[in-house]
Amino acid sequence: MSHTTKDKKKLLSRIRRIKGQSEAIERALEGEGECEEILQLVASCRGALNGLMAELIEGHLRFHVLDPSQNTSPSQLEAADELMAVVKRYLN
Domain boundaries, the chain: 3-91
Q: What pLDDT, in 10s, does the model give residues 34-46?
A: 999 999 999 999 9
User: What is the structure's pLDDT at 1?
Assistant: 59
Task: Kindly indicate the confidence band of residue 68, based on its pLDDT and cuts at 50, 70 and 90.
Answer: confident
- Euclidean distance between CA atoms 28 and 63, whole angstroms: 39
Q: Is the Cβ–Cβ distance between 87 and 59 less than 8 Å? A: no
Q: What pLDDT, in 10s, does the model give residues 3-12?
A: 788 889 999 9
Q: What pLDDT, in 10s, does the model give residues 12-26?
A: 999 999 999 999 999
pLDDT of 62 above 70: yes
Q: DSSP 3-state assignment of 72?
A: coil
The CATH number for 3-91, chosen from 3.40.50.720, 3.10.110.10, 3.20.20.70, 1.20.58.1000, is 1.20.58.1000
